Amino acid sequence: MPGLRGRLGIKVNDGMADRIVTRCCRGLKFTKVAPGGHQSLSFKMTLPRNTFNDLGPVDRTYVYDTRTTKTVIEGYLENPTPTDGPDGQQYDIAAVGGVALANDETRGLIYIDRDLGQFQKDLGALSTSTFEVAESVSFPGNQRIRAQFAGDTLVSPGVFGGAGNYEMERAGMSLGAVRAVVVSGRTDAAYRSRFQTPSVAVDIGAGATISTAPVDSTVWASTDFPSGTTLRFALYLYRTGAAGNIPAADASVWTDYVDVCVLGQRMNRNGTLLTGAAGLVSATQVLASQVVEDLLGRLLTFCDPGTAQVDTTSFAITQLAYPDGVKAAGVLNDLAVFESGYYWGIGATGENGKHEFWYRAWPTTPRYEVSVRDGWQQRGSDVDLCNRILVSWTDAAGKTVVTPVTAASLGLVGIGLPVDDLGTRIKDADPITLPAGKGSLANATRIGGQILTDKISPPKAGTVLVRRPILDMLTGNQVMPWEIEPGYLCRIRETGDELRITQVDYDDDGCSMLLTLGRPVLTDEQRLARLDRA
SS3 173: coil
SS3 450: helix
Work out how close the CB of 272 gets to other proteins at its nearest, in angstroms, rounded to a whole number.
10
Euclidean distance between CA atoms 202 and 220, whole angstroms: 11
Nearer to other proteins, 422 or 474 (CB): 474
Q: Which stretch binds other proteins (CB under 8 A): 145-153, 195-203, 204-212, 463-471?
A: 463-471
CB 156 within 8 A of CB 205: no
What phi and psi, each to the nearest 5 degrees, are found at residue 336? -65, -25
Q: Sketch the per residue contact string, 281 through 300, with other proteins: x for CB under 8 A, - otherwise.
A: --------------------
Q: Which of 103, 212, 381, 478 binds other proteins (CB under 8 A)?
A: 478
- 312 interacts with other proteins by CB under 8 A: no
Work out how close the CB of 393 gets to other proteins at its nearest, in angstroms, rounded to a whole number.
32
Q: Which helix (H) or strand (E) holds 260?
A: strand 254-264
Footprint on residues 166-225 left by other proteins (CB under 8 A): none
Angle at 498 between CA 497 and CA 503, to 5 degrees: 115
Q: Which stretch binds other proteins (CB under 8 A): 97-105, 122-130, 350-358, 393-401?
A: 350-358
Q: Which of 371, 381, 400, 477 binds other proteins (CB under 8 A)?
A: 477
What phi and psi, each to the nearest 5 degrees, are found at residue 146? -115, 125
Work out how close the CB of 127 gets to other proteins at its nearest, in angstroms, rounded to a whole number.
52
- 363 interacts with other proteins by CB under 8 A: no
- 473 interacts with other proteins by CB under 8 A: yes
Q: Binding residues for other proteins, how many (CB under 8 A)?
A: 54
Q: Kindly provide the b/e burial profile for residues 382-408, where b requires at least 16 CB atoms within 10 angstroms of the residue's own CB.
A: eebebbbbbbebbbbbeeebebebbbe
- 6 interacts with other proteins by CB under 8 A: yes
The beta-strand segments (E) located in 334-481 are 342-349, 355-361, 366-370, 376-379, 388-394, 400-406, 432-433, 461-466, 470-472, 478-479
Footprint on residues 225-284 left by other proteins (CB under 8 A): 270
Nearer to other proteins, 294 or 483 (CB): 483
Nearer to other proteins, 204 or 489 (CB): 489
Dihedral angle, C-alpha 428, 430, 435, 437, nearest 10 °: 0
Single-letter code of the amino acid located at 434:
L
What phi and psi, each to the nearest 5 degrees, are found at residue 455? -75, -35
Work out how close the CB of 467 gets to other proteins at its nearest, in angstroms, rounded to a whole number.
6
- Beta strand pairing call for 36-45 and 90-97: antiparallel
Beta bridge partners of 327: 106
- 23 interacts with other proteins by CB under 8 A: yes
Q: Which stretch binds other proteins (CB under 8 A): 248-256, 305-313, 381-389, 439-447?
A: 305-313
> Could you tell me which of 177, 182, 232, 229 has the C-alpha nearest to residue 207?
182
Using CB atoms within 10 A of its CB, is residue 415 exposed (0-12), middle (13-18) or buried (19+)?
Answer: exposed
CB 192 within 8 A of CB 203: yes
Nearer to other proteins, 16 or 426 (CB): 16
Q: Which helix (H) or strand (E) holds 108?
A: strand 106-113
Q: Which stretch binds other proteins (CB under 8 A): 155-163, 203-211, 219-227, 468-476?
A: 468-476
Nearer to other proteins, 455 or 500 (CB): 500
Q: How many CB atoms neighbour CB 260 within 10 A?
A: 26
Q: Which of 108, 437, 481, 518 binds other proteins (CB under 8 A)?
A: 481
Q: Which stretch binds other proteins (CB under 8 A): 29-37, 166-174, 400-408, 473-481?
A: 473-481
Nearer to other proteins, 66 or 142 (CB): 66
Work out how close the CB of 84 gets to other proteins at its nearest, in angstroms, rounded to a whole number.
13
- Cα–Cα distances (Å) from 49 to 55, 56, 91, 147, 254, in that order, read 11, 14, 7, 71, 76
Nearer to other proteins, 169 or 472 (CB): 472
Q: Sketch the per residue contact string, 505 through 524, with other proteins: x for CB under 8 A, - otherwise.
A: ---xxxxx------------
Footprint on residues 64-123 left by other proteins (CB under 8 A): 64-71
Work out how close the CB of 8 gets to other proteins at its nearest, in angstroms, rounded to a whole number.
8
Q: Which of 14, 21, 174, 263 binds other proteins (CB under 8 A)?
A: 21
Q: Which of 50, 208, 351, 416 binds other proteins (CB under 8 A)?
A: 351
DSSP symbol at 37: E
Binding site for other proteins (CB under 8 A): 1, 3-9, 11, 13, 17-23, 62, 64-71, 270, 304-307, 309, 350-352, 356, 364, 467-469, 471, 473-478, 480-481, 508-512
